[in-house]
Structure 1
Amino acid sequence: MLEDLNPVKVYLESLPSRQSRDVIWHSLNHFAKHALNDKSAVAENIKWAQITLDTIYSFRLHLDSKNTSKQTVALYLSALRGVLKLCHEIGLLNPEHEISASTILNSTYITKNPEYSTSPKHNLISSNDFIKLMKSVDRQQKAQARDLAIISTLYCCGLKVSEIIDLKYPDSIDPESYNFLVGDNESEESRCVPIPEEARKYIDNWLRLRTEQKGYFFNRISRADNVLFFEPSKENAVHPKSAKKLTVHAISLITRELSEKAQTDIYRPKDFRASYINRLFNEGKNIETIQKLSGHQCLDSLKRFK
């Protein structure tokens, strides 16, 4: 019976070592003492179905008031996040007190490492700063040409980083109509994203230097400034071990390095996407069109970009 299961016990048993179980158990007990206002309370005393966002916010404020270190706060909130997600996943929430999936996600968001959550959500990029970024490197070197194409795709097309690193040539790009096809061709979630005029010269320049060989569109570049191709379906791929697709971390490094060279604010990949969506709102596009272009599944999540 699901109601006989204790989410704390189930969660602890899922952890890989006794040490990690002890640490998480201590963290959850600390939350229990605050939530139940009882110094003798333990985590198994909590009726997790009745925990609300207000309870979590209150706990966070309590930790702040005690000048708890960031590392300890992150640990406590990570433990809390794990149990809350488990409650939702295995259906242990009572109907009259049920925390919806969106609430669970919200609580997951506010319980991220506070070292990062204290920074602004988005830093919108002006057109002047975009121009500075694009003028900061030499377009004729392959690595720099690729980086400029990536930056222009982020800023002008609003693609997610995960979408950018998954783009493939020729499947994901039509140079004649200047569109990116994002996602699986056979999937209902795929979408067509126009490449604006201001980004086309950077895309064209990268494609010229990259050549039209099949594979990931944005490739790794060797130290000798050679493009490394990798196509999983081919056994004779060039440098298969070193030519895998770019990583999310690599894109973040590119945006940081170009920001430093251009002497602008340090922009993160999500700042480019937020700037794209914000511009669409400023241009008077309706929210359904913006949703289609950006790939957001929820209209409400778009409103924060206005």
Structure 2
Amino acid sequence: MTWDEKIKDFEIFLRFERNFSENTLDAYIRDIKKLQTYAIDDLENTGPEKITYDNLQEYIFTLSKQKFSERSQARWISSIKAFFKYLLEDEIRDDNPSTLLEGPKLGLYLPDTLSLADIEKIIEAIDSNSDLGKRNHCIIEVLYGCGLRVSELIEIKISNINFKENYIKVIGKGNKTRFVPLAQFTAKLLKEYIAEVRSKNKINKKYEDTLFLNSRGTSMSRVIVFIIIKELTDKAGVSKKISPHTFRHSFATHLLQNGADLRYIQEMLGHSSITTTGIYTHLKTEELRDVILNYHPRNSNSA
């Protein structure tokens, strides 16, 4: 049995039995391949069936000295635990050396958000007279107006947009389907993009139903969307560290600030658990705290 064989088996297990998304799957396999390199180079080619708890502890310690974030370290341990649990269940091992591994204690993660003014600045930085600018404007409006993940954005099919009822059928994590309302303003932009911009493209036959296309007439990559947003935020002078996911966080936060029920936000974001959506209540709690400190009579100097 070799590392390559078991990593390939593990990948198949995660893809077909655990139904991992491509991004999560890639991250887990990358993590285990790093462990494989360490085992070959530093542990005299120790195989996955013989590696010990002490070996794993030393490996994690070695990585932790390289100034990776606590969140990255936590994911390594999650990947390693999943891998050795799989080997145990597959009867490759009769023990699990990762059981006692402990990840770093993660504090409460409050996602970065943009103000409406920030979003307007970013949109104003777009050259709305060019076809590329019109496409990029649509991308920003859909990310913010529908709260989509970047992987969901680049997979939108025109046939899944219902302009009569104004909603988009979205295929999310774990192949789960949800229906996200489409604001009239966003729907109008999309119609104009499809009729006036996209129709000019020479479209690859395989991508005739894909909404957002690159210059080659094929689907856009996640990386290109990141680059577009980086360039626009730099041009707009917005100094926050922004990714496509920032617009999703902003979508949820602004809905909550304006009185939307958390359960509805959960549905629109496609979270399987309300606990995940609950992170946004902490953002609102911070605002409420500021309101109390600034406006409650017990905090008034004149009281």
What corresponds to 1:179 in structure 2?
167
Letter of the 1:69 partner, please give it. Answer: Q
Structure 2 CA distance for aligned equivalents of residues 264 and 240 of structure 1: 26
CA RMSD, 1 decimal: 4.8
Shift of 1:142: 1.0
Query: Per-residue deviation at 1:91?
Result: 4.0
User: What corresponds to 1:141 in structure 2?
Assistant: 130
Query: Following the alignment from structure 1 to structure 2, what is the Cα–Cα distance between the partners of residues 179 and 233?
Result: 21
SS in 2 for 1:167: coil
Instruction: Check conservation: 2:207, 2:218, Cα contact below 8 A.
Output: no
Contact 1:137 1:144 in 2 (8 A): yes
Query: Distance in 2 between the 1:82 and 1:298 partners?
Result: 21
Alignment gaps of 5+ in structure 1: 1-8, 30-42, 112-116, 214-225
**CA distance in structure 2 between the partners assigned to 1:174 and 1:140 by the alignment:** 27
Cα gap change, 1:28 to 1:274, in 2 (>3 Å): farther
Q: 1:124 to 1:78 in 2, by over 3 A?
A: closer
Residues 171-180 or 269-278, more deviating: 171-180
Aligned equivalent of 1:195: 182
Render the CA deviation track for 1:23-45: whole Å, top value 9, x for unaligned.
4217886xxxxxxxxxxxxx733
Following superposition of structure 1 onto structure 2, how do residues 6-25 of structure 1 map, counting pairs within 5 Å? 11=3, 14=6, 23-25=37-39
C-alpha displacement at 1:12, in angstroms?
Answer: 6.8
How many residue pairs get aligned? The number is 241
Do the aligned partners of residues 196 and 28 (structure 1) sit closer, same or farther apart at CA in structure 2, a change above 3 Å counting? farther
Name whichever of 141-150 and 80-89 sits farther off: 80-89
The answer (yes or no) to whether the contact 1:24–1:79 under 8 Å persists in 2 is: no
- Larger helix proportion, structure 1 or 2? 2
SS in 2 for 1:192: strand
Q: Equivalent of 1:286, from 261, 281, 292?
A: 261
Equivalent residue number for residue 231 of structure 1: 205
SS of the residue corresponding to residue 166 of structure 1 reads coil
Hey, what does 1:160 align to over in structure 2? 149
Structure 2 unmatched runs, 5+: 9-32, 44-49, 282-303
Question: Are 1:87 and 2:75 matched, yes or no?
Answer: no
Q: Decide whether the 8 Å contact of 1:278 with 1:305 is kept in 2.
A: yes
Measure the CA separation in 2 of the matches of 1:192 and 1:273. Answer: 16
Give the whole-Å Cα distance in 1 for the aligned partners of 2:163 and 2:262: 28
Alignment correspondent of 1:44: 51
- What is aligned with 1:258? 232
Give the SS at the match of 2:168.
strand
1:243 aligned residue (194, 198, 217): 217
Q: Are the equivalent residues in 2 in contact too, given 1:12–1:25 (CA < 8 A)?
A: no
CA distance in 1, matches of 2:116, 2:215: 39
Contact 2:271 2:277 in 1 (8 A): yes
1:255 Cα deviation from its structure 2 partner: 0.9
TM-score normalised to structure 2 length: 0.62
Q: What is the CA distance between 1:47 and its match in structure 2?
A: 8.3
TM-score, normalised on structure 1? 0.61
Bigger drift between 193-202 and 272-281 goes to 193-202
Residue 251 of structure 2 is aligned to residue 276 of structure 1: yes
Instruction: Quote the residue 2:297 is aligned against.
Output: none
